[in-house]
Structure 1
Amino acid sequence: MEISVKAAYDQLASDYEHNVDTKNAFNAHYERPAMVNLLPADLTNMKVLDAGCAAGWYTVKLLELGAEVIATDISKEMVAATQRRVGNRAKVLNLDLEKELPFENGTFDYIISSLVIHYIKDWDKTFSEFQRMMKPGGILQFSIHHPFMDIKFSKNQEYFSKELIVDQWERQGKLIDVPFYRRPLNKIINKTLDYFSIEGIVEPKPTIEFKSLNPESYERLIKQPNFLIIKAIKKH
């Protein structure tokens, strides 16, 4: 992952730790309810990787569902935030998902990755590592930017190309450059199918709680999606 992604999320860590869970409707009342709805109600005796854990919201949720959790993030500040949140209940590691990962073949029953994979330029290394580390029949569940949303950020408006986009987020009075990769829907689906069988695709809609926090964005999201969720199974 590019060094600028690390820098961006080191700067964002405090905001994620203290504000995102309650104040950011896109996380709390849009992406997360849809992702949780796809999770099994009971993860007891399952080993789960939280791949790109940010400040640890999903790490806690997975623990609550009974899983044995290992969480990773590229940002040392995010790793520290997650460690503060979960204590010794989960192992939290500072790792780059674009590199070889220090886990044995067939380690995980489930890998969940929330709004992370669009920061990765080349999915082959990441998906091949995920596939290697998963048990037969293991599940990968990930959310990313929806390509129909991302095309609005494109300078060249060439939908069918992969493109580096640098978005600017305002947090606590600062503008932070957040780079990510835009890619068309066919590349998202076909690259996933190179390594997994797709079980389902979700284009989430905002909850009613979202409307009270951000009515203008609610009306937009009811009509067009921001995120895309894919649930896939390791090919035998």
Structure 2
Amino acid sequence: MRNHTRDIYNKLASTYLNDVDEKSPYNAYYERPAMMTALPSQLEGKKVLDAGCAAGWYSSQLLFQGAEVTGVDISSEMVKAARRRLGEEATFLCHDLQETLPFQDDSFDVIVSSLTLHYLKDWTQPFQEFNRILKAGGTFLFSVHHPFMDYTRHQCEDYFKTQFLTETWNKPNITIDVSFYRRPMQSIINETTHYFNLDELIEPQPQEKMKEVKEKSYRYLMTSPHFLIVKATSKKLLENE
């Protein structure tokens, strides 16, 4: 699965850099606005890890808010695309989130992971590592496929089973099969709260602008939740507690 995800996103790197930001309503008017709203209000001078940085859109937004950004991605081509976007303004590394992260304990104030974790079958290793490198009181914010969406779209027979699914994506200049894991809501929450304190569970709604751009998708998202956002905090105690 690691090699599959790496190979798929190597092929998608050009699309993500040149087309996804403006041409994908699901990004521009749905997931990204909700994630940005959920971020801590003050990022000036904060150290932020963009875990699964893709072509660097989130890294660029975090930099704009004054953060010191490090991005990691399993795809070397995505890392190259992120570097083309931001140059030396951020640090980008090609690294597998299922392996030990090359950072010291308590290195980051915030960890952001957008639509990445559903490519990983087991969250134990990455969550242990995120917990290790996140400072006390730090924020862990991530988005994944909504379990209801995958369950209904793929007509799964067992909601409570973590399943390996494949679907075909039609992107600008490429049609490609992408595989990922669907897990039930209770697994998402329980695995998160094993390492972090749950702050907020967000089922994002599309912005009104999406109704103007792609009304069919807007109506669909208002009746069928597509993504799920989880905001959590490190369980480590602050020094004065």
1:40 is displaced (CA, Å) by 2.4
Amino acid at match of 1:203: E
- Contact 1:136/1:235 (<8 A) preserved: yes
Unaligned runs of 5+ in 2: 237-241
1:42 is displaced (CA, Å) by 2.4
1:173 is displaced (CA, Å) by 4.8
Q: Secondary structure at the match of 1:28?
A: helix
- 1:99 is matched with 99
- Contact 2:118/2:144 (<8 A) preserved: yes
- Contact 1:6/1:74 (<8 A) preserved: yes
Q: Distance in 1 between matches of 2:17 and 2:157?
A: 35
- 1:203 is matched with 203
Amino acid at match of 1:10: N
- 1:44 is matched with 44
- Contact 2:15/2:173 (<8 A) preserved: no
Q: TM-score, normalised by structure 1?
A: 0.97
- 2:234 is matched with 234
Q: Does 1:131 align with 2:147?
A: no
1:2 is displaced (CA, Å) by 1.8
Residues 195-204 or 165-174, more deviating = 165-174
- 1:146 is matched with 146
Render the CA deviation track for 1:122-177: whole Å, top value 9, x for unaligned. 00000000000011111100000000001024354210000000111112353211
Q: Secondary structure at the match of 1:127?
A: helix
Q: Secondary structure at the match of 1:159?
A: coil
Identical amino acids, percent of aligned pairs? 47
Q: Secondary structure at the match of 2:55?
A: coil
- Contact 1:153/1:165 (<8 A) preserved: no
Q: Secondary structure at the match of 1:205?
A: coil
- Contact 2:5/2:179 (<8 A) preserved: yes
- 1:27 is matched with 27
- Contact 1:107/1:133 (<8 A) preserved: yes
Q: Secondary structure at the match of 1:111?
A: strand
Q: Does 1:62 align with 2:67?
A: no
Q: TM-score, normalised by structure 2?
A: 0.95
Residues 212-221 or 138-147, more deviating = 212-221
Render the CA deviation track for 1:162-213: whole Å, top value 9, x for unaligned. 0000111112353211110000000000000110000001100001121122
- 1:170 is matched with 170
- 2:82 is matched with 82
- How many residue pairs are counted as aligned between the two chains? 236
Instruction: Please give the root-mean-square deviation of Cα atoms over the aligned residues, in Å.
Output: 1.1
Q: Distance in 2 between matches of 1:83 and 1:66?
A: 18
